Structure 1
Amino acid sequence: MEELKEIKSVAIVPFTLMSSSISAVLGIIYALILILVLGAVAVFLPSQSHIISSLLMTASVAIIIILPVGSFLFSVLTSFLMAFIYNLLVPRIGGIKLGMVEMKEIRSVPVIPLSLMASSIYTILTFLIILIVAPLLVVVLQGAALASISTSNSMVGLEGLGAIGLIGIVVMVIGIPILVFVFTFIYTALMALVYNFLAPKMGGIRLKFNTIKDNSFEIKKIKPIPLALISAVVMTILNFIFSLPTLAMYFATGNVPGGLGYFLGNTIGMFIVIFILYAIMALLYNYLRPFVGGIELKLE
């Protein structure tokens, strides 16, 4: 029988540590793939192009260091902020709710709580980023414009640039977060609707919990195949829906081969990539949990 559970809080440190550890390992995998690609390119280079080969070798060494470290540090920041913001928002807008079957399978996800929380978190993160990026971007644009203004009309240019810069900051700080909220809400709502339609038919995400105390639980294990399968199907359907305008343009212009290639890439290609990625993430979670600890949730 399905029982509705609300995620009242997320333990910040375990969530951050697990997310960043998975991101670091994925960074290593991405780095190895890029190195293999660069190695394949180097094989086909002419033998006299030893300089290009050396550059590719140097790039490979940099990639194997930068990608995992960068992925880890970026994930530490974003994961910490997401968990922190989630815990702050729950008393105000309510937490994400999960329709659980025997505390083992997520059979449904109520649409509004998930959409409202996801869009609120991403809007706040976007707002924080823009507060830093917007002034820097405006300064760079003004600097580039000033460099092109001649001495004779520099005063007029400065007055115009000041107004444009102020308007640009206001538009970015207010307009972009609003767009992020609307798009994220719509996308997440569609994702929940598709999940709720498919999960009873093909099975939802399956989890194994450890009881810590009272209503606090640790995610002990995530079954890779159910997670990968439902995630791949849901995201493939959504990606196909949002790609319909582009697909229509291909066929409207008579580019049938291009349209077919685009269609296959957004269905079969998307399904394969998402399935593999989420299966790897679940396997990494199960492997890393004994070492770094699992994600802890308070469910009521």
Structure 2
Amino acid sequence: MVDVKEIKSVELAPFTLMSSSIHAILAFIAAIITLIAFGIIAALVPQASVFGSVITSAGAALIIIYPIAAFFIYLAISFFTILLYNGLAPRLGGIKLGLEGNEVTNIPVVSFSLILAAIETIWAFIIGVFLAAAITPVFTALSSSIPVVSQAIANATNATNMTIPTGQAVAAGGVFLAIILIIGLPIMAFIFGFIGNALAAIFYNYIATKVSKIQLNFDAVTGTLKNLTSIPVVPASLAVAIVFTIFGLLRGLADLASLSANGNVAGGVGALIASIVGYFIMYFIGTALITIFYNALAPRIGAVKLELE
């Protein structure tokens, strides 16, 4: 029998520490892979030996700095994201999970899509405000310098009918771009976020679960508060990989149509196959690593705690 549970809230500290720790480990692995790749390039390509020696000498710094930077960046991102979730869940409804034992048999589409799209919209608004604040001084400086530059060009070329944007036009362009970033970017984030998350839930419910279901092992803490003690690796990796492989299929079909329209059918077929295989491998490995690290870290730094009701 399927028991639908809603994630009412997520405890901030355990989730933030777990997320930032996992990303720090992934960053450490990425740093090592980068160093190995550059070392191989330096060994095989004599012209790249100088560049390779520089990378190698900076290797210790890369291995240390990259994970530390990832830890603190995701510490902030995870903290604010869960803060948003806990604030929005009582108003919009939290993510719901259809559980049968420890298996996630279905993910109700609307609740899943709505709150995730709302969080993505708020993040898009914040990013848009920062970008607008960064570009506004640039457009202001350009608008004030346009008359001087245009006059200098006219004097140098003896041109009288040159079409050069006025300072007011440049300033207006800056204001328009700022409005797009602050208003348009969040709107697009909500639309595409809702559609993308809805498709992911639909693909999971009707396709992925036919092959593999995500399993979540909980322990009761107190009342409705649960410890997510572990996530079996293979079922989660396979289910997530199948969902995103379908996205890869859709992207590959778009590439196939585009390249075929330009007469490159073979390239389109290759792009389709590469997209399908690449998405499956990438998301299977990525999910497997995350679940492995979660299972290893949970007993040591504390499991994620969810209020399920």
TM range (shorter): over 0.9
1:258 corresponding residue in structure 2: 267
Give the Å deviation of 1:193. 0.6
Q: Counterpart amino acid of 2:62?
A: I
- TM-score, normalization: structure 2? 0.90
1:237 corresponding residue in structure 2: 246
Q: Counterpart amino acid of 1:13?
A: A
Report matched runs for 1:1-300 at 5 Å. 1-46=1-46, 51-102=50-101, 104-143=102-141, 150-151=148-149, 157-300=166-309
Change (3 A) 1:149 1:23: farther
Q: Which structure has the bigger radius of gyration?
A: 2
Give the Å deviation of 1:153. 5.0
Give the Å deviation of 1:203. 3.0
> In structure 2, how many angstroms separate the alpha carbons of the residues matched to 1:129 and 1:229?
33
| Number of residue pairs aligned between Structure 1 and Structure 2 | 297
Give the Å deviation of 1:61. 3.6
Q: Counterpart amino acid of 1:212?
A: V
Q: Is the 8 A contact 1:99 1:108 kept in 2?
A: yes
Q: Is the 8 A contact 1:146 1:157 kept in 2?
A: no
Percent identical: 37
Which 4+ stretches in 1 moved above 6 angstroms?
Answer: none
Change (3 A) 1:29 1:134: same
- TM-score, normalization: structure 1? 0.92
Q: Counterpart amino acid of 2:253?
A: L
Q: Counterpart amino acid of 2:100?
A: V
> In structure 2, how many angstroms separate the alpha carbons of the residues matched to 1:54 and 1:202?
47
Q: Counterpart amino acid of 1:291?
A: R
SS state of the match for residue 206, structure 1?
coil
Change (3 A) 1:262 1:146: farther
Q: Which range is displaced more, 52-61 or 290-299?
A: 52-61
Q: Which range is displaced more, 240-249 or 210-219?
A: 240-249
Unaligned runs of 5+ in 2: 153-164
The CA deviation string for residues 223-261 of structure 1, in whole angstroms up to 9 with x for no partner, is 000000000011010222244222201122221332122
Q: Which range is displaced more, 173-182 or 261-270?
A: 261-270
Give the Å deviation of 1:140. 2.9
Question: What is the RMSD of the two structures over their aligned residues, measured on CA atoms?
Answer: 2.0
Give the Å deviation of 1:222. 0.3
Give the Å deviation of 1:143. 3.8
> In structure 2, how many angstroms separate the alpha carbons of the residues matched to 1:143 and 1:65?
39
Q: Which range is displaced more, 37-46 or 10-19?
A: 37-46
SS state of the match for residue 303, structure 2?
coil
